[in-house]
Amino acid sequence: MTSSPSPEAPRDSYRFSHRQSIGLVFLCTLFGVAAQYLIKTSANSLQVITLESLLSNWALWLGLAMYGISTGLLILALRDGELSLLYPVISLTYVWVTILSVLVFNESVNVFKIAGITIICLGVTLLGKGDSRS
Amino acid sequence: MRTPLSSILLVLFASFIGSFGAVFLKAGAGRLHRELATLLLNWRLAAGIAMYLASFVFYYLGVREGELSILYPMVSLGYIWTLLWSRLFFAEPISRRKVAGLALIIGGIIVLNLGNR
């Protein structure tokens, strides 16, 4: 008797390629920056921590929700990729924060900022070029 | 504005817990399949998220006082811890590419930090 595949049989899950995993971490950092901005804003307005001030702090909760999405994307990326390659890609956060602070908050640009984000991008590119099995 | 030692220690501790959070997220993510139970009954993912939250709390307490330009780059130490844990727990090789990439990233963060003073 030949058995037909049962519908409950676990099928092979979709596997993300290395590039796709890097892309997921890339998205993760965009949500992470939104989260950090909201949380930093809420930290400034929160001098004394009371239950009421925490519960009514919408920026804090929105920021945490953004962190949730960001973490979900990271989990998806980590499922198929190497932790040691993917985790440092989160440093793109520094690049977004710097670009945001210059474009949106009109902070000054200087040679250190440009050099810093260039070096970080070089490092991320190096990690993004392939996993250690390739 | 000066950065108190307590803030530095809190942010350091946050980076340490956060790196372990990443280890548990990776361990839990590897057990994710199409069944919902692999997500809902995944204690490793829950532990990872709990450590991330704990890391967030310590970071949050740390950045309430002191300069972000000093405290922020310290979080990047978490990348070094994570490289070590990846080797230890997942037998991921520490390749030249990873060390070079990580060195560039941490160097870039330090250079970037000079521009924020």
Separation of alpha carbons A28 and A84, rounded Å: 16
Question: CA-CA distance, A89 to A66, in Å (whole number)?
Answer: 18
Quote the ipTM score. Answer: 0.84
- Mean of the pLDDT values across residues A105-113? 88
Nearest to A24 by CA among A64, A96, A80, A62: A80
A16 alpha carbon, distance to own chain's centre: 17
- Read off the pLDDT of residues B53-107 as tens digits, 9 standing for 90 and up: 899 899 888 888 877 777 877 888 889 999 999 999 999 999 999 999 999 999 9
CA distance A111 to chain B (A): 7
CA–CA separation, A5 and A28 (whole Å): 37
Distances (CA, A) of A20 to A66, A74, A91, B27, B36: 21, 12, 17, 19, 23
Structure confidence at residue A128 as a pLDDT band (50, 70, 90): confident
- For residue A4, the model assigns a pLDDT of 45
Task: Please tell me the predicted confidence (pLDDT) of residue B73.
Answer: 79
Residue of A nearest to B39 (CA): A75
Q: Is A11's CB within 8 Å of B60's CB?
A: no
CA dist A98 and A86 (Å) reads 21
Which three-class secondary structure state does DSSP give residue B36?
Answer: coil
Interface test mutation site (partner B, options A83, A93, A127, max chain B beta carbons within 10 A): A83
Query: Which of the four pLDDT bands, split at 50, 70 and 90, describes residue A23?
Result: very high
Q: What is the pLDDT of residues B10-34, one digit of tens each?
A: 999 999 999 999 999 999 988 887 7
Q: Which of B78, B82, B73 is nearest to B23 (CA)?
A: B82
Q: What is the pLDDT of residues A27-48, one digit of tens each?
A: 999 999 998 888 878 877 666 7
Share of chain B above pLDDT 90, in %: 50
At residue A12, the pLDDT reads 63
pTM: 0.79
For residue A107, the number of C-alpha atoms closer than 13 Å in the C-beta half-sphere is: 13
- Terminal-residue alpha carbon distance, chain B: 11
